[in-house]
Structure 1
Amino acid sequence: MMVQNELERGARQRPLLMLMDGHAMVYRAFYAIQYAMNLRSTGEEVKGVYGFTNTFLKSISDWNPSHCAIAFDVKGPTFRHEEFAAYKAQRPHAPPDLQAQFPFVKQILEAFEVPIYEMKGYEADDVIGTISAQAEQSGLDTIILTGDTDTLQLVSPQTRVLLSYSAQQQKVFDEEAVRERYKGLGPEHIPDIKGLEGDSSDNIPGIPGIGRGTAIKLLTQLETLDNIYERIDEVVSPRIRQLLIDHKEAAFEGRHLTTIVRNMPIKFDVEGGRFGAFSREKVTGALRDLEFVSMIRRIPGSSSAPPAQPVQGTLMDMSVTAEVEEETPREKIETMYQCIDTAQGLAALIEELYLAKRFAFDTETSGLDPTRADLVGLSFSTKAGNGFYVPLGHTEGLQVPLSEALKMVKPIFEDPSISKTAHKASFDMTVLKSYDIEVKGLGFDSMVGAQLLGYNAIGLKQLAFQLLEEEMTSITNLIGTGQKQITFDHVSIEAATPYAAADADMSGRLRDLLELKLSGTDMNKVLKEIEVPLVPVLVEMQSNGIIVDTNELNAMSGDIAAELTTVEEEVYKEAGQEFNIKSTQQLGTILFEKLLPPARLRELGLPAAKKTKTGYSTDASALETLKGASPLVEQVLRYRELSKLKSTYVDALPTLVNPKTGRVHTNYNQVGSSTGRFSSSDPNLQNIPVRTELGRQVRKAFKAESGWSLVAADYSQIELRILAHYSQDEALMGAFHRDEDIHAATASEVYDVPIDEVTLDMRRLAKVMNFGIIYGLSAHGMSQQTDLNIYESAKFIDSYFAKYPGIRFYVEEVKQQTRKDLFTKTLLGRQRFMPEINSPNVHVRQGAERVAINMPIQGTAADIIKIAMIRIYDQMRMDELQTRMLLQVHDELIFESPPDEINAIKKMILDLMPAALELSVPLKVDIKEGPNWGDLE
């Protein structure tokens, strides 16, 4: 930013006060940063704090002020609200997440010893106006940082305004710049302009029909608002003259509301406002607390020397080594991004990649489905700041022919000795696999690395902004949005080159940083031994897809539609009228005002209806408690089940069949949850109901290739077996060693009866408890899932723990350890950060305790099946089997196998899956096979 005036750094003769509108800067940052930024230590949102602090440090560096002060609004009405009730009435209340960030901002400012000025009944603009006036009288120049154009009225020979339109667009206004903006009118005219034209942002109406152009013409002619009305006959246009006469009061009221107060009863302490007398150690601590570690190197010179030793690394920073690296000042990395559009240039690039021994890469495609999208270009980076883009499929421009380029890059991509890095590598590798390139030698995935370290925002652009302080170009800047959005192949090569090259460059830079943070931690082992080797397995599964019989689904769709009509008629009959069943408001009215009013609910001993802001609660949990109270409840639940299954799977799946392969290809999200489980999307094949007849019918449509079979391998009770290992409970381990029905064995222990005398009801309650204990089941929770009341549930839980003391010990120990460490982890070292376990809020704390109990168990189960997938994949390739791994559904793997390999794959499964991780109890695997997913036996 170039500022050509006497305020420019290094050209000043007078001290400079940097005066910031703190409220405006935090507010602007909160809405400008288009993704969440949460503290890993508490989960609190801090993007407003981050944006403000970033602006503050940059401004200190740019302006080198001798003095600094910050103004804030105070919650509550101002004198303007009291005088004009509609003032800013249209503005929504600041969301709680934004309000909660102001204390953090003030902590940063207190650490820098920057004085904060605010006063009830006034706005930050008034504080700024008053302080700038006093600063002028004290011989200080002033630069005001704000996003509010009203402050331009404060510009004078000693005061300038730095107006921020966006993160990239700022402008310094002196008197000349103000006059240029307002066609010759100066700062003193701004309240008059606002009085005439109004200000929609503050809900100031002004004079209807008079815009800025007319206001400027009137004031240019007659100089002031007072003169306009004193010489109203000189207004040439009869229409404008009448508008002025009709809305005179609004004009003067608007001017009054817009005029910034410059004589508030506050005094600016010139000596107290001197900037620089702060403790570097204190500021470093404040930035660490907010996890803004990369900003530490930007702390300006201070009165105290930097600490001789780095502060001990916290859980959030992962290691002392990482802290030292973060605090080492680094120069801004200059970028050099090149377009490679000839075969000769590509050959030279490939040679450079070989010499580098490792590189980061990225693909640009025509869409987001890696099995359908066309490859548009490839980008590469060998070191921070460099990037190369190879356009291959743009509609215009010089490019290397696609087939020739793929032939050239195939050897290096498939060379395992050359280490590759990508961000969400499974996407890029799946794209390349569809072009017969099998990427080997993947060394790092920056998305997975960030997720393991506990970052919440793990998109490439988010991480680059948060960790590298690099603001990358948004894809929408290139392809647009909405109906006018284009695909990447229609983006010009000139525009695509810096965008695509930056993707590879930032992936490589993140690798360097994240590798340092992971170094020496258990999670580095998780990354290297589980997550990175898993990527080729997921790529294979995504590419394989699974056959879906669309004819069966189409027939099923017709059957469901007919049943929906029948259920709909039954609902109307029971309700006594027709209504929109999908409308929760209409359903709530019918259910709780007509069929089950309060008196009827009390008569049935049922809880009162819950009300929300939009009406009665009619979600699944609310309706489940009303089963048996009215036939309409069961009918609505059935209607919802049918509708969801029809729209989500029966009608959607045929449209998702890939025309190239004739199969449905799901996408696996490797960072789907903090426990290590990965999710499935587009379509989600992990959530097809398995316990309902409709769900089983849908699964029957998933079939093996003609003549082949589907083989399913399922870990039996894996989470309970892991619980047995963690708890070392003798009774639980004994039942698994004896290969007993675990739920019957539990019932036998709790009810103290022989296992062959356990009834179905006993077993059912034991099953609820066995699965519930993993999720921190309470007496209230058990009463919701069974026929027991809370007292009976509590008694059952006590009996359970009395018979399984090891489990009770595990539950209490893991909660206590998590409170101490602020994280919990799996057997293999995958961590989940949980500072909320010490929250003063009882509900937050109890929720965290339940997660602390569950995460080590569910996370270890996820790690085990990933290890099994990697080993089976590797063995199948070594044995050169045709069998394909198709799906992973939680604890189950599904394969597609030719008849002559079924015995081999079964043996392989039984050899490798139980041996994935050694526990105190054996891992057991059940295998089924059949022609389709619904008929596996």
Structure 2
Amino acid sequence: MQIPFDTNTSSAQNLLILIDGHAIIHRAFRGISAQGNNLTVSSTGEDVTGVYGFLNIFLRAISDRNPSHCIITFDTPKPTFRHIAFPDYKAQRAETPEELKPQFERVRQMMETFAVPTFSLDGYEADDLIGTISAQAEEHGLETIILTGDRDTFQLISPYTKVDLGSNARDRKLYGESELIARYNGLTAEQQPDFKALLGDNSDNIPGVPRVGEKRAIALLNSYVNLEGIYENLESIHPPSVKTSLTESKNIAFNNRELMTIDRQVPITVDFESALFGGYDMEQVITLLKELEFNSIISRIPGTKQVINSDMAINKPVANTDTVYTCVDNQEKFDSMMLSLQKAHKIAFDTETSDLNPMLASIVGLSFSTNAGSAWYIPVGHSEGLQLSLEYVIEQLKPIFENPDKQMCAHNANYDLMILSKYGIHVTNLTFDTMVGAHLLGNSSLGLKNLSQTLLGIEMQPITELIGTGKKQISFSHVSIEEAYPYAAADADCTLQLWNHFEPEIDSSFAKNIMSNIEMPLIPVIIEMQRNGITLEKDNLESMSEELQSDMEILHESIVSHVGHSLNINSPSQLSQVLFNELDLPKTKKTKTGYSTDANSLEFLKTAHPIIEQILNYRELSKLKSTYVDALPHMINPHTERVHTSYNQTGSITGRISSSEPNLQNIPVRTERGRKVRNAFIAPTKNSLLFAADYSQIELRVLAHLSQDPGLLSAFHNGEDIHSSTASLMFDVDINKVDSEMRRIAKVLNFGVIYGLSAHGITQQTGFSREEGNNFIKTYFSKYPGIQNYLDKIKEFARENGYVETLMGRRRYVPDIHSSNFNIRSAAERISINMPIQGTAADIMKLAMINVYNNLESTSLESKILMQVHDELVFEVPTQELEPLKSIVVTEMPNAMDLDVDLKVETKQGPSWGDME
């Protein structure tokens, strides 16, 4: 089992809890006071109602979210820019109760004791600080959960930022993009300031537009996007009374939006290292809690001995059943356990280790379960305590793991099998992986603890209660055996119970074929690739880093010379100021922080000023340098001198494999500089090569099979270039007269079909007008009527059945296909179109990997499979084995699945990944 965080849970290692101090204190105080609870007045007469309520909310957030970082923000008494712009701002707000005022300082004191950084700044509200900090957190690679009572922060929601509205049960759910869209019937975070501008806010004394309530505001914004769109289309708005009200209140609406837009450019800089949570002095925390007479809360503080030694510390995996967990710390217990394992037919197992990275980790202990409610833990690597020797335990357990008659199961077996393989153990009959099973059956949360809570009703102990968090986090090897064994044994026990839960459902459902023939046989292939790794040439990258730095400095100097003053090119706000205020370039789309300076926006401005292309070049070089060129050398394993990526077969709902540390899928190939990065991935010796095999246009070939369109099938059967063939039909020219621009447009359309591209999307990628884009789509479907028919049928299938599936039967459920909201329903339709195509292509790749791997294993070849990237497999091959390897690959990959068109595979080889032919 990986530590310190539960397998595949929500980025707890990179999660910031960002607290709106005033909002949560007020909410806590009002909530308790409303109940008439006087228990929060101390024996000295100090009212600590707000402090007590705040601390309850804070500790629940820490327990629920397990953050790596924590920050709290506060308002100040000084007026803000909003008060200056609108003197009546918040004028009607009730005065803070006198008994509550001193409690803000108490909460500050409490947060200081927890070593949580506090931010406040005169002239700005806590919301502005939250907006700025969350933006900086995103740049720092952190996800953020905003803990607040203020819905104004909904405008900050993004793929990296969610909002927790705090204390009452109705609002406990986390608001992300999908929850926000569902709550406001299609409105996005970017539309929230416009939405609030129309409604106004009574609590802030901001009047809205008369006759425009929530439903009408949502309808208007769904139709016209923002205030500008509404006022550009006033003549279309009915009834007349609403149009009149909007006309008369135009200034109110736009002023409201300015007041309600959170400032994300507050002049503060966050040191996120200092925001790591967990580095507090436990004695100081307990002393303050006792001073406040919060004795009942002490046991809830992460890491306290009181928690570990309380009943809460022991996992209780079977409701109303006593668990029997045995710490196997002597020969007698070991012999008894071995006897049970030898008799057992089904065994669930788990490993406890010293590191998240399996290539660096050592075994600390192993756990086994053969019956629900009982399990064994064998400590072998704890720093203290009685334990058997690792060598002896491995020697005795090896025959159990390698017995083909034993059915074995683990949760995230990829990790555990990687660990065991380092000790010469190769699990022969891995029958089930509960994480993979949960993924196939549509569970969104795949962590062992989450699944146990949801499906078994078992609340398992968080690992952080044993090892702590932040700077004071310890290795599992330093956890006492007495505390470790019930935790570790419960992991094996719950894995067995989830196995028993999932197996009948999978065996009787669509998932059996995928589980048995793809996902489980794929695990050894993934482990092989991860263990093999790939050689990286550091000198190549160091030289490239120097070149990039030099080129970036030249570009920076040129950009500054155009501007006439210093400029942080990586700052969107500074860039926006220069481009749209100083240089007066055409305005791009409006964002929360000004006009957009993202890549798509700047592409449209390329001809407006020479600085634009230089900025785009600078950004490309900067990202290349920081993300790959400078980062990759630090990922080289010191023992193998190779880079070992991690693959995740449950990372995508379509079945695609993803990778991390490094993410091989994102290494750029479209630019010359990007391709140079691949040159650093090399064959290890002069007598070896890298060999790559790439499926050619696999998704379009799958589309041809699924749609049975005669034109598409014919083009592939005749071996034509599919994009040139499409261009020939679209532009009504001979295929030999298709030029590069015609082919480019045809390529956009071909791949656009797979991803449900709209006329707007065509316009963005081709430069056509919206009308031209619509016409091209109509022409496309007139030339390929079978594709149009297929798209209509797959959407109808989704509406009737609530899911779509691949040719192998992998399913994706699309509940939003019946949504009354156009945007949500359209997104579900695009998913319905894409999933069978992309998912079938993913299944084909996985089958090919299994077949190639099995074939290699049956030979004496030394060639190794190293990487899977998109539609490509990369191998390391001794020069003399090139032809035998090539023969295996070009036999197995095209025949992975039987389609009505050939699966074409292109191969190449060379000394590096970037230098192949």
Which bracket does the TM-score occupy, shorter chain normalised?
Answer: 0.5 to 0.7
Q: Find out whether 1:736 has 2:793 as its counterpart.
A: no
Q: TM-score, normalised by structure 1?
A: 0.66
Greater relative contact order, per chain length (Cα 8 Å cut-off, separation 6+): 2
Report the Cα offset of residue 98 of structure 1.
Answer: 5.9
Q: 1:806 aligns with which of 779, 786, 790?
A: 786
TM-superposition CA deviations, 1:188-225 (whole Å, max 9, x none): xxxxxxxxxxxxxxxxxxxxxxx999999xxxxxxxxx
Whether contact under 8 Å (1:27, 1:98) holds in the other structure is: no
Q: Does 1:879 align with 2:868?
A: no
Q: Indicate the residue corresponding to 1:685 in structure 2.
A: 664
Contact 2:373 2:493 in 1 (8 A): yes
Cα 1:30/1:830, change in 2 over 3 Å = farther
CA offsets 1:529-559 (integer angstroms, 9 cap, x no match): 1101100110111000000011111111111
Structure 1 position 645 matched with structure 2 position 624: yes
Q: Secondary structure at the match of 1:521?
A: coil
1:104-503 equivalences in 2 (<5 Å): 332-503=320-491
Equivalent residue for 1:34? 64
Structure 1: distance between partners of 2:792 and 2:392: 63
Shift, 1:30, TM fit: 8.2
Matches within 5 A, 1:510-525: 510-525=498-513
2:714 and 2:380 map into 1 onto residues whose CA distance is: 62
Q: How many residue pairs end up in the alignment?
A: 653
Residue among 93, 97, 112 paired with 2:150: 93
Would you say the 8 A contact 1:333–1:384 is kept in 2? no
Query: Which residue of structure 1 lines up, in the alignment, with residue 887 of structure 2?
Result: 907
Matched, 1:636 2:581: no
For residues 333 and 739 of structure 1, do their structure 2 counterparts lie closer, same or farther at Cα, with a shift above 3 Å needed? farther
Could you tell me how far apart the structure 2 residues matched to 1:517 and 1:566 are?
62
Helix, strand or coil for the counterpart of 1:34? helix
Please name the residue that 2:217 is paired with. Answer: none
Aligned to 1:207: none
Deviations 1:701-743 (A, max 9, x none): 1111211111101111100000001100011001111111111
Shift of 1:644: 1.3
Q: Would the aligned equivalents of 2:165 and 2:171 in 1 still touch at CA under 8 Å?
A: no
Which secondary structure state, in structure 2, belongs to the residue aligned with residue 473 of structure 1?
A: coil
**Which residue number in structure 1 is paired with residue 704 of structure 2?**
724
Match of 1:65 in 2: none
Residue 788 of structure 1 is matched in structure 2 by: 768
Cα shift readout 1:278-307 (whole Å, capped 9, x = no counterpart) = xxxxxxxxxxxxxxxxxxxxxxxxxxxxxx
What SS does structure 2 have at the residue aligned with 1:337? strand
What amino acid does structure 1 have at the position aligned with 2:444? Answer: N
Contact kept? 1:342, 1:399, Cα under 8 Å: yes
For 2:688 and 2:762, the matched residues in 1 are separated by 44
Secondary structure in 1 matching 2:431: strand
For 1:695, the equivalent position in structure 2 comes to 674
User: What's the CA shift for 1:610?
Assistant: 2.8
C-alpha distance in 1, partners of 2:816/2:57? 26
Tell me the distance in 1 between the aligned counterparts of 2:899 and 2:439.
Answer: 27
Q: Deviations over 1:850-885 (max 9, x none)?
A: 111111100010000100111111111111321111
Q: Distance in 2 between matches of 1:674 and 1:558?
A: 40
Q: Is the 8 A contact 1:30 1:98 kept in 2?
A: no
C-alpha contact 2:346 2:407 (8 A) present in aligned 1? yes
Residues 801 and 833 (structure 1), Cα distance of their counterparts in 2 relative to 1, 3 Å cut: same
Equivalent residue number for residue 672 of structure 1: 651
Instruction: Supply the RMSD in Å over aligned alpha carbons.
Output: 3.0
CA contact (8 A) 1:343 1:405 kept: no
- Structure 1 residues 657-666 or 819-828, which shifts more? 819-828
Does the 8 Å contact 2:452/2:460 carry over to 1? yes
The partner residue of 1:861 within 817, 821, 841 is 841
CA distance in 1, matches of 2:539, 2:172: 60
Instruction: Compute the displacement of 1:752 (Å).
Output: 2.2
Q: How many Å apart are 1:904 and its aligned residue?
A: 1.0
Checking the alignment, whether the CA contact within 8 Å between 2:709 and 2:787 is kept in structure 1 is yes
Bigger Cα Rg: 1
Deviations 1:308-362 (A, max 9, x none): xxxxxxxxxxxxxxxxxxxxxx953321111112345334323311211121111
1:893 aligns with 2:881: no
Residue aligning to 1:259: none
1:819: which partner in 2?
A: 799
Partner amino acid for 1:471? Answer: E
- Give the distance between the partners of 2:339 and 2:553, measured in 1 at CA: 66
2:823 is matched with which residue: 843, 849, 871?
843
Measured against aligned partners, the alpha-carbon deviations of 1:885-917 in whole angstroms (never above 9, x if no partner) come to 100001100111112221111111111111111
Q: Which amino acid aligns with 2:813?
A: F
Asked if 1:622 corresponds to 2:607, the answer is: no
1:553 equivalenced with 2:541 (yes/no): yes
Cross-structure match for 2:756: 776
Q: Is the 8 A contact 2:353 2:361 kept in 1?
A: yes
Query: How far off is 1:20 after superposition?
Result: 13
Alignment equivalent of 1:535, drawn from 523, 540, 545: 523
Residue 625 of structure 1, CA deviation: 2.2
Asked if the contact 1:526–1:830 (Cα under 8 Å) also holds between the matched residues in 2, the reply is yes
Tell which deviates more after alignment, 695-704 or 87-96.
Answer: 87-96
User: 1: distance between equivalents of 2:450 and 2:290?
Assistant: 41
Secondary structure of 2:371 counterpart: coil
| Structure 1 Cα separation of the partners of residues 463 and 430 of structure 2 | 26
- SS class of match (1:382): strand
SS at match of 2:764: helix
Q: What fraction of aligned residue pairs are identical, expressed as a percent?
A: 49
Structure 2 CA distance, aligned partners of 1:348 and 1:551? 55
Q: Is the 8 A contact 2:678 2:914 kept in 1?
A: yes
Cα drift, residue 795 of structure 1: 0.9
- Native 8 Å contact 1:365 1:376 kept in 2: yes
Paired with 2:618 and 2:858, the residues of 1 have a C-alpha distance of 50
- Aligned equivalents of 2:530, 2:331: Cα separation in 1: 31
Instruction: Write the letter of the residue equivalent to 2:337.
Output: L
Partner secondary structure for residue 377 of structure 1: strand
Equivalent of 1:592 in 572, 575, 580 = 580
Relative distance call for 1:592 and 1:410 in structure 2 (3 A) is: same
1:150 aligned partner: none
Residue in 2 that maps onto 1:526: 514
Amino acid paired to 1:453:
L
Q: Contact 2:149–2:165 (CA<8 Å) still a contact in 1?
A: no
Which amino acid in 2 is paired with 1:625? F
Mapped to 1, the partners of 2:63 and 2:900 lie a distance apart of: 49
SS at 2:482's partner residue?
A: helix
Aligned-partner SS, 2:664: coil
Aligned to 1:134: none
Aligned-partner SS, 1:526: helix
Seen in structure 2, the aligned counterparts of structure 1 residues 869 and 215 have a Cα distance that, compared at 3 Å, is closer
**Unaligned segments of structure 1, at least 5 residues:** 1-18, 37-76, 107-120, 122-210, 217-329, 602-607
Cα drift, residue 632 of structure 1: 2.1
The verdict on how the C-alpha distance between 1:379 and 1:430 changes in structure 2, with shifts beyond 3 A counting, is same
Q: Say if 1:934 and 1:82 are closer, same or farther in 2 by CA, change over 3 A.
A: same
Alpha carbons of 1:824 and 1:794: their partners in 2 closer, same or farther (altered >3 Å)? same
Letter in 1 for 2:421: K
CA distance in 2, matches of 1:474, 1:585: 41
